[in-house]
Amino acid sequence: MIDRQTHLEGQLSRTEADAEAALSALADVARELRRLKKAAASGAVRELRGALEAAQERASALGEAVGHAREGWQLDVRQYLESGGYAAELLAAAGERGLRLYEQDERIIGYPSVIRILAADCAIEIDRKRERRIRPSLVVSHLRDLQTKPPRFPAERFLEALFRAYKLVLAERGRPLGATAQLLRVYEVLTLLPGQRRDYSKQEFARDVYLLDESEAKETRDGHGVRFPASTGTRTPATLSTVTKSGELKVYYGIAFDAP
DSSP 3-state of 139? helix
Taking CA atoms, 21 is separated from 18, 57, 69, in Å, by 5, 16, 9
Q: Average the pLDDT over 188-215 and give the result.
A: 94
Confidence of residue 231 (pLDDT cuts 50, 70, 90): low
* Full residue range of the structural domain in which residue 13 is found: 8-72
> Using one digit for the tens of pLDDT, what is the confidence trace for 162-180?
999 999 999 999 999 999 9
Query: Into how many domains does the chain fold?
Result: 3
Length of the chain: 260
pLDDT averaged over the chain?
Answer: 93
91 in the same domain as 62? no
250 in the same domain as 160? yes
> Using one digit for the tens of pLDDT, what is the confidence trace for 1-37?
444 446 999 999 999 999 999 999 999 999 999 999 9
Q: Is residue 236 part of a domain?
A: yes
> Using one digit for the tens of pLDDT, what is the confidence trace for 115-158?
999 999 999 999 999 999 999 999 999 999 999 998 889 999 99
97 in the same domain as 39? no
Q: What is the pLDDT of residue 1?
A: 41
244 in the same domain as 189? yes
Q: Is residue 2 part of a domain?
A: no
Q: Is residue 37 part of a domain?
A: yes
97 in the same domain as 50? no
Q: Is the pLDDT of residue 245 over 80?
A: yes
Confidence of residue 195 (pLDDT cuts 50, 70, 90): confident
109 in the same domain as 21? no
Q: In whole angstroms, what separates CA 154 from the centre of its chain?
A: 22
- Its pTM stands at 0.86
82 in the same domain as 65? no
Taking CA atoms, 86 is separated from 36, 115, 203, 246, in Å, by 48, 12, 19, 24
252 in the same domain as 185? yes
How many whole angstroms separate alpha carbon 208 and alpha carbon 74? 40
